[in-house]
């Protein structure tokens, strides 16, 4: 049935509605009371551009997705979504574009700061919480970039060549969770192609999977400039092309309607979905935003995201310590990314000032030296002089705290990185300061992973802050002095060498194609399966307290699910938060599985000595693989080890659960292999018995295990052909018929 408003619209009005009015808004149809909806970028703060050449009106810059990933806490993502919505509403913005839930396939992707994790479950849980928080405050979300947009090189044309199982197990589940759990107002179709077909004109992706399988009811919007053929895109399931094309797309749609190559019902459906965006969008809100409260929130949330990578006890800093703060980033912080997610931050904390404030309350003396410049090209003499000054400052102190990281220019949408190295000036500085100072702490600000190999073993603590938004400086001060206890865990593996990473030889592709040759072995799935130890594994992160787990119980529920309960205890002397990570490991089924996969997690805050019993429900998806023969999820019968892990490389306790699983035996045919026949639970023994009874004079060789192994992969037809009537056709037919009814 046609939407009541759409049925009153002219073809022209409908066609116009399917592309933007301008860069950031949809068309209005005044005679029908259809209002325009304004979209802006997010997802780390509202980026409302009044003109396309300005950086946006002031807004709070919250921790970026890379940082939120490390919080492992949906409450953090939800709070950010909600606060952004409040700021958006105050500016009349109906949709904030985000969150980005693409998988970090390579540490080199230039846009990794905008994505949560290398793991689909973690990405999906956080993305769903962000959408929920934002939409509960009346502002629509746009989960992006759908799908397989995992690099920036050649981003508008590259074909991500990914096999079906890998798409289903790694690249689609985060979108699936966001869509099915949080019903985002829009999904943004990506720039790239998938197996040759543009994502923005991909019927399988936008219609069959997104709407057919996942039940998406909102509108599909294109990434900005993604559409090449507006008619093909609408036909495939795209509703709104952005930005506007000055009427060109509408004319093409009208032509296609006129010549019958586009069905009017398709246009009606898309128009109805765009109309609904207007109905759902927030009213302009004239309450003032409490930016001070949002800044304070940003500081608390940022402290939930930072990961303490190493610490020999130097942190937290003690009362009365003489501290040398080193690094230009201490006064000119790097706290956010570049490109479309860049926010005109309201109030940026200066880390040095925040440290001084807390230091003064603890009788700590703070000195400072910049140590390096943020531009790439100071003269060698200038760099040497800055380093010498920093070394002198550090050697006069008890602890040197170095603020290092990637400069703004190192990463952005539009290009990928070619290295994980820090700028040379900085690594040389860290090595020199570490040799001179009694103790050295490194605080890292960066979006994509950086290597620490050159100096990792020379320093006493590393605090990885990622890009934690405008209040990162305050959060770092809180964490260094122990006002807050670090509780972040890595959402992305830090490899020893770039060449240890799974996509190393297949990133970023060539001649228009990037082959996802590593399949499902992405991130820790690869490092653990291929035994390539990481510098710091996925899930790693220290605290100022310690935790223990015990009393694990795992109980099967039905044929394909389980419940898991475990006690977690704060065994140290400070309050803190632990992330309980549940992985599943199995060799069941016909496909190669990663050594372990994250299947559930929770973050829990505990007072010293406190313990808590936590329960997890593992549904069938926690045990399933995508079966390319059945085009569906299958739980293979067999044993599954449920592991409670400290991180992806460290199992704390585990237990095996045996699942009946799905009935997977396929009907036997003459094309099935001899092995399939002989191992079939009913037919196998019967067939072997039949063969054993063949009289010796028929020339049949003795059926030994060796023989069966040799002929195991031959289709049964070949054996029948060779043996003639030794295996009578009616007997085989009867056996095959029986397996049809069983399957």
- Residues at the site binding ligand BGC, with contacts judged by CB under 6 A: 41, 97, 144, 223-224, 340, 413
Q: How far is the CB of 146 from ligand BGC (least distance, A)?
A: 11
Cα 243 from Cα 227, distance rounded (Å): 10
Is the bond preceding residue 272 a cis peptide, omega within 30 degrees?
no
**Cβ nearer to ligand BGC, comparing 97 with 236:** 97
Q: How far is the CB of 41 from ligand BGC (least distance, A)?
A: 5
Q: How many beta carbons lie within 10 A of that of residue 226, not counting itself? A: 24
Q: How far is the CB of 215 from ligand BGC (least distance, A)?
A: 24
Q: How far is the CB of 172 from ligand BGC (least distance, A)?
A: 18
**Cβ nearer to ligand BGC, comparing 201 with 359:** 201
Using CA atoms, how far residue 541 sits from 10, 62, 380, 544, 578, in Å, is 59, 21, 37, 11, 9
Q: Can 223 be counted among the known catalytic residues?
A: yes
Closest alpha carbon to 155 in 339, 421, 15: 339
Answer for the pair 416, 110: CB distance below 8 angstroms, yes or no.
yes
**CB-nearest residue to ligand BGC:** 340
Reduce the DSSP state of residue 452 to 3 states and report it.
coil
Q: What is the DSSP string of 189-229?
A: EPSSEETTEEGGG-HIIIIIIIIIIT---SEEEE-TT--S-
Q: How far is the CB of 142 from ligand BGC (least distance, A)?
A: 7
Q: How far is the CB of 274 from ligand BGC (least distance, A)?
A: 17
Structure token digits, residue 45: 């703060």
**Cβ nearer to ligand BGC, comparing 97 with 109:** 97
Cα 476 from Cα 132, distance rounded (Å): 28
Q: How many beta carbons lie within 10 A of that of residue 664, not counting itself? A: 15
Closest alpha carbon to 193 in 162, 170, 238: 162
**Cβ nearer to ligand BGC, comparing 223 with 285:** 223
Residues 6+ apart with CB under 8 A from 164: 626, 628, 631
Residue 44 exposed, middle or buried by CB count within 10 Å (0-12, 13-18, 19+): buried
**Cβ nearer to ligand BGC, comparing 285 with 413:** 413
**Cβ nearer to ligand BGC, comparing 189 with 554:** 189
Q: How many beta carbons lie within 10 A of that of residue 147, not counting itself? A: 28
Q: How far is the CB of 111 from ligand BGC (least distance, A)?
A: 8
Is the bond preceding residue 170 a cis peptide, omega within 30 degrees?
no
HSE-up of residue 244 (Cα within 13 Å, Cβ side): 17
Residues 6+ apart with CB under 8 A from 180: 214, 215
Q: What is the DSSP string of 228-292?
A: S-HHHHHHHT--BBSS--TTHHHHHHHHHHHTTSS-HHHHHHHHHHHHHHHHHSPPP--SPP-HH
Cα(first)–Cα(last) distance of the chain, in Å? 40
Q: How far is the CB of 708 from ligand BGC (least distance, A)?
A: 55
Distance of CA 251 to the CA centre of its chain: 38
Cα 142 from Cα 219, distance rounded (Å): 9
**Cβ nearer to ligand BGC, comparing 202 with 602:** 202
Reduce the DSSP state of residue 492 to 3 states and report it.
coil
**Cβ nearer to ligand BGC, comparing 72 with 146:** 146
**Cβ nearer to ligand BGC, comparing 41 with 87:** 41
Q: What is the DSSP string of 471-485?
A: THHHHHHHHHTTSS-
**Cβ nearer to ligand BGC, comparing 44 with 144:** 144
Please name the helix (run of DSSP H) or strand (run of DSSP E) that holds residue 713, with its range, or none: none
What backbone phi and psi angles, to 5 degrees, belong to 96? -105, 125
**Cβ nearer to ligand BGC, comparing 185 with 355:** 185
Where does 72-139 have alpha helices with state H? 74-90, 120-136
Q: How many beta carbons lie within 10 A of that of residue 84, not counting itself? A: 31
Q: What is the DSSP string of 591-651?
A: SPPPS-EEEEEEEEEE-TT-EEEEEEEE-GGGT-EEETTTTEEE--SEEEEEEEEEETTEE
Answer for the pair 120, 104: CB distance below 8 angstroms, yes or no.
no
Q: How far is the CB of 117 from ligand BGC (least distance, A)?
A: 18
Q: How far is the CB of 151 from ligand BGC (least distance, A)?
A: 12
Cα 440 from Cα 491, distance rounded (Å): 25
Q: How far is the CB of 160 from ligand BGC (least distance, A)?
A: 15
Closest alpha carbon to 640 in 559, 568, 580: 559
Which of 41, 73, 223, 349 is catalytic? The answer is: 223
**Cβ nearer to ligand BGC, comparing 224 with 544:** 224
Q: How far is the CB of 572 from ligand BGC (least distance, A)?
A: 42
Closest alpha carbon to 99 in 86, 109, 117: 117
DSSP 583: E
Q: How far is the CB of 279 from ligand BGC (least distance, A)?
A: 22
Which residues are identified as catalytic? 223
């Amino acid at each position: 049935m046609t939407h009541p408003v759409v049925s009153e619209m002219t073809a022209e009005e409908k066609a116009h509605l399917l592309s933007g009015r301008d860069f950031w808004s949809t068309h209005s149809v005044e005679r029908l009371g259809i209002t325009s909806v304004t979209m802006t970028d997010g997802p780390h703060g509202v980026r409302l551009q009044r003109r396309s050449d300005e950086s946006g009106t002031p807004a709070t810059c919250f921790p970026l997705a890379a940082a939120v990933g490390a919080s492992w806490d949906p409450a953090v993502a939800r709070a950010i979504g909600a606060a952004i919505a409040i700021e958006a509403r105050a500016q009349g913005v109906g949709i904030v574009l985000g969150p980005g839930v693409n998988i970090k396939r390579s540490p080199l992707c230039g846009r990794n700061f905008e994505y949560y994790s290398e793991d689909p479950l973690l990405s999906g849980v956080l993305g769903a919480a962000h959408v929920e928080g934002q939409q509960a405050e009346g502002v629509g979300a746009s989960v992006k970039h759908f799908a397989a947009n995992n690099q920036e090189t050649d981003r508008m044309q590259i074909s991500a060549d990914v096999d079906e199982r890998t798409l289903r197990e790694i690249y689609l589940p985060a979108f699936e969770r966001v869509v099915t759990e949080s019903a985002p107002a829009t999904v943004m179709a990506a720039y790239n192609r998938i197996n040759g077909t543009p994502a923005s004109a991909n019927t399988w992706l936008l219609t069959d999977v997104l709407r057919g399988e996942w039940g998406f009811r909102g509108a599909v919007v294109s990434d900005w400039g993604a559409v090449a053929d507006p008619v093909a895109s609408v036909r495939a399931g795209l509703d709104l092309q952005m930005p506007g094309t000055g009427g060109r797309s509408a004319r093409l749609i009208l032509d296609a309607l006129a010549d019958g190559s586009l069905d009017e019902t398709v246009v009606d459906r898309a128009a109805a979905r765009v109309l609904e965006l207007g109905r759902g969008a927030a009213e302009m809100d004239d309450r003032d935003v409490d930016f001070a409260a949002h800044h304070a929130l940003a500081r608390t949330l940022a402290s939930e995201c930072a990961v303490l990578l190493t610490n020999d006890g130097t942190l937290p800093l003690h009362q009365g310590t003489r501290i040398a703060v080193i690094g230009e980033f201490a006064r000119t912080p790097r706290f956010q990314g570049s490109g479309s997610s860049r926010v005109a931050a309201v109030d940026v904390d200066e880390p040095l000032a925040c440290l001084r404030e807390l230091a003064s309350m603890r009788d700590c003396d703070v000195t400072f030296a910049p140590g390096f410049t943020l531009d790439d090209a100071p003269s060698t003499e200038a760099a040497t002089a800055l380093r010498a000054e920093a070394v002198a400052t550090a050697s006069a102190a008890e602890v040197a705290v170095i603020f290092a990281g990637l400069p703004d220019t190192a990463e952005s949408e539009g290009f990928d990185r070619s290295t994980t190295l820090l700028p040379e000036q900085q690594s040389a500085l860290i090595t020199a300061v570490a040799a001179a100072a009694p103790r050295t702490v490194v605080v890292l600000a960066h979006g994509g992973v950086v290597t620490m190999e050159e100096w990792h073993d020379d320093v006493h603590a590393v605090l990885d802050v990622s890009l934690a938004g405008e209040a990162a400086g305050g959060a770092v001060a809180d964490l260094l002095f122990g006002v807050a206890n670090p509780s972040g865990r890595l959402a992305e593996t830090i490899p020893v060498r770039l060449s240890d990473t799974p996509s190393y030889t297949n990133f970023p592709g060539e001649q228009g194609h990037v082959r996802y040759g590593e399949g499902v072995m992405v991130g820790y799935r690869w490092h653990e399966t291929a035994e390539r130890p990481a510098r710091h594994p996925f899930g790693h992160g220290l605290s100022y307290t310690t935790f223990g787990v015990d009393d694990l119980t795992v109980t099967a529920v039905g044929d394909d699910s389980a419940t898991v309960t475990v006690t977690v205890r704060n065994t140290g002397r400070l309050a803190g938060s632990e992330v309980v990570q549940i992985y599943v490991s199995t060799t069941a089924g016909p496909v190669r599985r990663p050594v372990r996969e994250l299947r559930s997690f929770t973050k829990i805050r505990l007072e010293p000595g406190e313990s808590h019993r936590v329960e997890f429900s593992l549904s069938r998806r926690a045990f399933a693989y995508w079966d390319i023969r059945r085009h569906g999820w299958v739980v293979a019968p067999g044993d599954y080890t449920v592991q409670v892990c400290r991180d992806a490389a460290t199992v704390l306790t585990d237990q095996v659960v045996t699942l009946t699983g799905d009935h997977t035996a396929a009907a036997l045919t003459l094309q099935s292999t001899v092995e399939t026949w002989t191992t079939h639970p009913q037919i196998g023994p019967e067939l072997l018995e039949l063969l054993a009874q063949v009289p010796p004079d028929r020339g049949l060789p003795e059926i030994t295990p060796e023989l069966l192994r040799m002929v195991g992969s031959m289709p049964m037809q070949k054996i029948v052909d060779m043996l003639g009537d030794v295996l009578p056709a009616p007997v085989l037919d009867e056996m095959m018929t029986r397996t049809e009814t069983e399957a």
